[in-house]
Structure 1
């Protein structure tokens, strides 16, 4: 199953798109995507190519070679397939996907890979009756940047189910993180929790922590609030 998809990706590869993506995802020396290889396919097209492989249960191990490919689009295709099956599959299939995903988070190594997969795979698994919410805390304390972003973005699936406690707990754990990609994820999930579930919860968190939050996280979190409220929380910034 893997090889036909690899061939489909190769057939549609576009060097100009690859160059644009490489710049956008910081493949340059010192960038967070340093060393990654793009062939030039956007996520929307990858989803179309992957769709036939998502309609029936999968053994996630069959797709692991794609996740270990040096090609970014191969890794993304694997994660799209796993994520679709995590949404559609029975508990046993979701558990198998999550287990293999968590054993290979070093290969989920750019923000688009995390954002396409953490919610359905990790967040969805946590929502299962035997789900372990403490998994998010372990990921949030990891030295690996991508684990920490997974911890935060995974809560999007919980927010969609009306569960916000994990979002705010992990946001608090990550208050002092020094990476911009974590600041963005924290603010994004807080904004989503306030928008989708309870704005009062968001305001209560901000009342306590706005002065300590990184500027980027704070701006993302307050984006949908009214102008006066945004100015109030921006004014809480510590010196």
Structure 2
């Protein structure tokens, strides 16, 4: 008897085969358009943590800061003076958090491996930023719901992650070669997320999505 594919980790839909390479299968949900790696083919937590440790992102790396500015600058343009934010998935070198602090915003950071500060997830924020994190989330539906609980009305969620274009480009995409990348989002996926949660959506670049919780 054939094994049923796992449900979509974003919306619970029934996915279809999308792509296969030498290491993994990739499934696509017809409802939310998410492409994801089946759970049984994802790295164990210890192996994923070891791979993360090979990343070299330093606070004073000018190139890394230019990269992060693609998320930081459009977010700052939309924030009121004195806004307080959370860097979700800040990593061991929280350069994005430092950039917002330098711009005059109060910030906290959270990362399940490098900054597991539970208190940071126990308050609300005017904005939340997450750079190169969503592609690592094994359960993005649950994580997005949790983040939105932390977001005040009128607040912004800024997400930087490279987006799926089409099947042909996906097959050649360097992004899928990272074994810790398990979920891949398209513009349609972000439109689904916005509609499901009643958010306003703007695309601020090829890999930046800004979602706003309406003010009450």
Name which one, 1 or 2, has greater alpha-carbon Rg: 1
TM-score normalised by length of structure 1: 0.27
More strand by share: 2
Which one has the bigger helix percentage? Answer: 1
Say which structure, 1 or 2, has more relative contact order (CA 8 Å, 6+ apart): 2
